[in-house]
Amino acid sequence: MKEFAVSLDPENRKPYYEQIYEAVRDAILSGRIPRGEKLPSTRSEAKFLSCSRSTVELAYDQLLAEGYLESQPYRGYYVCDVRDLYHLPENGREQTSSVPEEPLYPTEEYAVDFSPNGIDLEHFPYASMGRIMRGLLLDEGERLLRSSAPFGDGNLRQIICDYLYQSRNVNCRPGQIVIGAGNEYLQILLSQILGGGRRVAMESPTYLRAFRTFQNIGYPVEEIPMDREGMRADLLEKTAADLVYVMPSHQFPMGTVMPMKRRLELLNWAAQEEGRYIIEDDYDSEFRYRGKPVPALQGMDRSGSVIYLGTFSRSIAPAVRVSYLVLPQRLLGCLREKCGFYSCTVPAVMQQSIYHFMKDGYFEKNLNRMRGLYKAKHDFLLGELRKRPWVKRILGENSGLHLLAAVRTGMTEEELTADCRAQGIRMYGLSEYFLSGRPAFPEPVFLFGYGGLSREEIAAGLAALDGILGKE
Amino acid sequence: MKEFAVSLDPENRKPYYEQIYEAVRDAILSGRIPRGEKLPSTRSEAKFLSCSRSTVELAYDQLLAEGYLESQPYRGYYVCDVRDLYHLPENGREQTSSVPEEPLYPTEEYAVDFSPNGIDLEHFPYASMGRIMRGLLLDEGERLLRSSAPFGDGNLRQIICDYLYQSRNVNCRPGQIVIGAGNEYLQILLSQILGGGRRVAMESPTYLRAFRTFQNIGYPVEEIPMDREGMRADLLEKTAADLVYVMPSHQFPMGTVMPMKRRLELLNWAAQEEGRYIIEDDYDSEFRYRGKPVPALQGMDRSGSVIYLGTFSRSIAPAVRVSYLVLPQRLLGCLREKCGFYSCTVPAVMQQSIYHFMKDGYFEKNLNRMRGLYKAKHDFLLGELRKRPWVKRILGENSGLHLLAAVRTGMTEEELTADCRAQGIRMYGLSEYFLSGRPAFPEPVFLFGYGGLSREEIAAGLAALDGILGKE
């Protein structure tokens, strides 16, 4: 073909070669340059356009790379046969999607939210954490951005190991600790270590995120009822489960502390067969307001059956996204073989920041302050609930970040929740946490999370409930 | 029973109640206090020990909580039957573990490592990133530590959306973007959206981490051979695959750019059946040194079949652990239903830092500088390789962070790799990247990653090779 015209525009932000590339591409796509056509040589086209030959070469190279042209040695550039392949359905499935747009920025809907996951971050040492992060980037930035050890930074694993031994009686070596981006990620990682085809036993009611994660993993879940000592371990032998997920030190949502005898029953169940494991989720053991924390199940394990799962979501903050597994020694080979090629999911700078936060004493200081703050909120809420004629019974005292209260009312849980919602109060009915069935209480039971609320907010929430329940 | 003696030690760091708790617990465990025994009342025990009654109450409460005691209303505290349950195997499996200790701190073994994953972080703007992070913690710390939207921060999704449109022709809305802690995590997340029972087609050779992640997920992988245009799309119909994993813009490790015609074949294959998807891994498209980057396959997709996977591992740094998926609209409902309860695996402060890093122009500036640096290293390595008599052929020029060279030698790939290792040079043979079979070259082919090496290191590595190959 003859040379073709491209009006090269020096005012255009795009370089000349790109203007040529686009002109030729569009001409090929529209069919103006037919397939099989030989393009002018770079030399003659450059002369025609009064530009340098390398500009035209660059444009042709781009067209070659993208497959619009092919080069035949010593002959030149030819237009490829692309058009007949280009007739993809114009009104394909993509256009028929009717999924509503999800809001990019979540909005606050409630004046008072009794979420059991609420935490107090007003007093967090932001300046110290900011100083630590900036210092790390300046001093060790290159190392921290390069890469991270697959199971987590050695310093952090060591200091978590020490912390768990001192505070929770967890008995392990740093090599047994795996750092990951949150509990659910670690649950998934664990499923890759343990392999498919497992059956899980869970308490009911339970922590629903863990339940749903098991569903996504593809592990069938059997629910085991609870009594006042926690999961009915005697029922485990009647199931096909070879994995148990429990929260022995502070069950969510019931607040039950599993007594020694029940713990030993669980450990004995696991020790009976080689492939049985117990996942001990120790999500908020830091917050106990009377006596000292109950030691972890892991520390009593003699058969290498307990997989301990801990998190900084409550002891530091949820959005740092750092959790840790303590694996029994006998799973370490499998971990390395199957998952040793993964990069650690927590940014190295975040891991190092937490390490320094712990090493320099900020973690402990912050935890002690938070325990005091939460205890004060706990005591305030407990006192306020006790004054209420509509509170029939209070459960789950002295620990964690929520209380449960059975409410004397003629309404159902759903009705009361709806009435509260209309007044800007978000309530959490206990039945939401059951895998199936309902709570064994004659009256509705609600979780009152206080971690993220001020006294004023707690009082306002309860006052709204007074109004609703007083009208009955 | 009578009151029992505890020698309360005011010098002990443990409080009195804990000293009492431990003494009673040890007595129960050792059998000195028999099961069923009634403990002295808190009043009489307190009098006996000359301490306050609440101290003894606290100790008893702890023993109750842990199940050593039970309380019978109006009667008192009784010792539980725990001993006969406590005989767990002393020499259980845990002790017999023979897994060697994994080193907590990885050590550098090589003087020159031609890793194709090596990157240059010497010139990263650490001070700017450090200032951004610290500023964020001071100004928005509470919001950033509280929680993050499940699929990522709205601002970051918006700016990635704009960036991908401008630089890669990716056509999407921010709501289609999912932020996650690295490619492998997003691959796992994707498998939860797409569900079990899928079969994947992959190029061979390919990116082995993706292959191994599919293995861990439980997706069988069928390997499709490549020719000089990339994956042989015509062979897809002969497999049972309904998912294809490809790197069309710069295949790893071959460096192939898939031409338009082959791309359209792929898209047509996907559009034939409802449940077919293409995962387009666009891992290093930022680094192209001649012409402009080849647009992404995603931008040509009319049937909602392309799942785009991008990462900041190379454009920022690997250890920030941030990747992103662009999902077709028709998968968004499934995403929200199955995975909407997960927290985003990237810390909110890291997401916001990257957002500001992009918004304030640091990202682009850094990328342009890196492109220049890498181009200089590319040109230097290319020039040096061309001088070598032992280099038979060079592949994968003008893009990415590595070149391939076929080596004229009587040695096998393994032999040459071993000889280099003995001299502190880490080599990467092409055959390592094949799922099965061997490269279709008569001589050994090696990947020469240059991203993380200085000119001196590149020269030293090649000089060592000169020595080894010169002796033949």
Q: 3-class DSSP state for residue A320?
A: helix
| Distance of alpha carbon B161 from the chain centroid | 22
| Distance of alpha carbon B35 from the chain centroid | 52
Which chain B residue is nearest to residue A342, measuring alpha carbons? B184
Q: At a CB cut-off of 8 Å and minimum separation 6, what does A208 contact?
A: A432, A433, B341
CA gap B135, B213 in Å, rounded: 37
Q: Residue A94: is its pLDDT beyond 70?
A: no
CA gap B329, B319 in Å, rounded: 30
Spatial CA neighbour of B116 closest among B456, B443, B433, B437: B433
pLDDT on residue A85 = 47
Q: How many CB atoms lie within 10 A of CB A275?
A: 11
- b/e burial code for range B157-182 (CB count within 10 A of at least 16 → b): bbbbbebbeebbebbbebbbbbbbbb
H or E stretch covering B309: strand B306-311
- B157 residue type, one letter: R
- B98 residue type, one letter: S
Instruction: Tell how strand A277-281 and strand A306-311 pair up.
Output: parallel
**C-beta atoms of A261 and B17 within 8 A:** no
B469/chain A closest Cα distance in angstroms? 32
pLDDT on residue A51 = 87
Q: What is the mean pLDDT of residues B186-215?
A: 96
H or E stretch covering B375: helix B362-387
CA gap A116, A134 in Å, rounded: 33
Q: 3-class DSSP state for residue A311?
A: strand
**C-beta atoms of A264 and B137 within 8 A:** no
Q: At a CB cut-off of 8 Å and minimum separation 6, what does A270 contact?
A: A244, A276, A277, A278, A301, A303, A305, A306
H or E stretch covering A378: helix A362-387
**C-beta atoms of B185 and A101 within 8 A:** no
pLDDT on residue B87 = 42
Spatial CA neighbour of B313 closest among A347, A152, A150: A347
Q: At a CB cut-off of 8 Å and minimum separation 6, what does A134 contact?
A: B130, B131, B133, B134
* A-chain residues near B144 (CB < 8 A): 319
C-alpha distances out from residue A193 to A156, A331, A340, B185, Å = 22, 8, 11, 15
Q: What is the mean pLDDT of residues A250-269?
A: 93
Which chain B residue is nearest to residue A98, measuring alpha carbons? B330
Which chain B residue is nearest to residue A330, measuring alpha carbons? B97
pLDDT on residue A386 = 97
Q: What are phi and psi of B387, to 5 degrees?
A: -75, -20
**Is ipTM > 0.90 here?**
no
Token reading at B59: 């100790």
Q: Residue A83: is its pLDDT beyond 70?
A: no
**C-beta atoms of A188 and B184 within 8 A:** no
pLDDT on residue A53 = 86
Which of A20, A134, A433 to mutate against chain B (most B CBs within 10 Å)? A134
H or E stretch covering A464: helix A455-470
Q: Residue A96: is its pLDDT beyond 50?
A: no
CA gap A2, A153 in Å, rounded: 64
pLDDT on residue A104 = 75
Instruction: Tell how strand B200-204 and strand B243-246 pair up.
Output: parallel
Q: What is the mean pLDDT of residues B111-131?
A: 93
B467/chain A closest Cα distance in angstroms? 31
- pLDDT per residue as tens digits for the range A144-179: 998 778 999 999 999 999 999 989 999 999 999 999
Q: 3-class DSSP state for residue B15?
A: coil
- B293 residue type, one letter: P
Yes or no: say if B297 and B265 are a contact pair by the CB < 8 Å rule.
Answer: no
Radius of gyration of chain B (CA): 31
- B329 torsion bin: left (phi>0), alpha (psi -120 to 50), beta (else): alpha
Yes or no: say if A247 and A296 are a contact pair by the CB < 8 Å rule.
Answer: no
CA gap A42, A448 in Å, rounded: 76
Token reading at A383: 């006192």
B107/chain A closest Cα distance in angstroms? 11
CA gap B279, B214 in Å, rounded: 12
C-alpha distances out from residue B97 to A229, A355, B100, Å = 33, 29, 9
Q: 3-class DSSP state for residue B386?
A: helix
CA gap B226, B204 in Å, rounded: 7
Q: What is the DSSP string of A12-34?
A: SSS-HHHHHHHHHHHHHHHTSS-
- B233 torsion bin: left (phi>0), alpha (psi -120 to 50), beta (else): alpha
B88/chain A closest Cα distance in angstroms? 7
* B-chain residues near A182 (CB < 8 A): 342-343, 345
CA gap B432, B444 in Å, rounded: 11
Q: 3-class DSSP state for residue A215?
A: helix
C-alpha distances out from residue B356 to A320, B157, B350, B353, Å = 18, 12, 10, 5
Spatial CA neighbour of B385 closest among B452, B451, B466: B466
Q: At a CB cut-off of 8 Å and minimum separation 6, what does B112 contact?
A: B424, B425, B426, B453, B457, B458, B460, B461, B464
Spatial CA neighbour of B102 closest among A198, A337, A384: A337
* A-chain residues near B113 (CB < 8 A): none
Q: 3-class DSSP state for residue A392?
A: strand
A470/chain B closest Cα distance in angstroms? 34
Sign of CA dihedral B96, B97, B98, B100: negative
Q: Residue A365: is its pLDDT beyond 70?
A: yes
A257/chain B closest Cα distance in angstroms? 6
pLDDT on residue A12 = 81
- A277 residue type, one letter: Y
Q: 3-class DSSP state for residue A326?
A: strand
Instruction: Please report which confidence band the pLDDT of residue B285 belongs to, taking 50, 70 and 90 as the band edges.
Output: confident
- pLDDT per residue as tens digits for the range B155-185: 999 999 999 998 999 999 999 999 999 999 9
CA gap A59, A65 in Å, rounded: 10
Q: Which residue has the higher pLDDT, A88 or B116?
A: B116
Q: 3-class DSSP state for residue B244?
A: strand
Yes or no: say if B245 and B386 are a contact pair by the CB < 8 Å rule.
Answer: no
Question: Residue written as tokens 């058009």?
Answer: A83
Yes or no: say if A358 and A317 are a contact pair by the CB < 8 Å rule.
Answer: no
**C-beta atoms of B346 and A303 within 8 A:** no
Token reading at B458: 């590149």
Please report, rounded to a whole number, the percentage of residues in chain A having pLDDT higher than 70.
95
Q: What is the mean pLDDT of residues A117-146?
A: 92
Q: What is the mean pLDDT of residues B105-131?
A: 89
Spatial CA neighbour of B179 closest among B54, B346, B398, B62: B346
**C-beta atoms of A17 and B291 within 8 A:** yes
Instruction: Please report which confidence band the pLDDT of residue A285 belongs to, taking 50, 70 and 90 as the band edges.
Output: confident
SS3 readout for A31-80: CCCCCCCECCCHHHHHHHHCCCHHHHHHHHHHHHHCCCEEEECCCEEEEC
Token reading at A75: 């002959």
Spatial CA neighbour of B289 closest among B401, B390, B186, B388: B401
- pLDDT per residue as tens digits for the range B254-267: 999 999 899 999 99
Q: What is the mean pLDDT of residues B461-467?
A: 96
pLDDT on residue A89 = 40
Of the listed ranges A316-325, B82-91, B200-209, B367-376, the one predicted with least confidence:
B82-91
Token reading at A237: 């032998």
* A-chain residues near B295 (CB < 8 A): 66
CA gap B443, B455 in Å, rounded: 26
Taking one residue from A and the other from B, the number of pairs with CB-CB distance under 8 angstroms is 343
Yes or no: say if A212 and A193 are a contact pair by the CB < 8 Å rule.
Answer: no
**C-beta atoms of A145 and B318 within 8 A:** yes
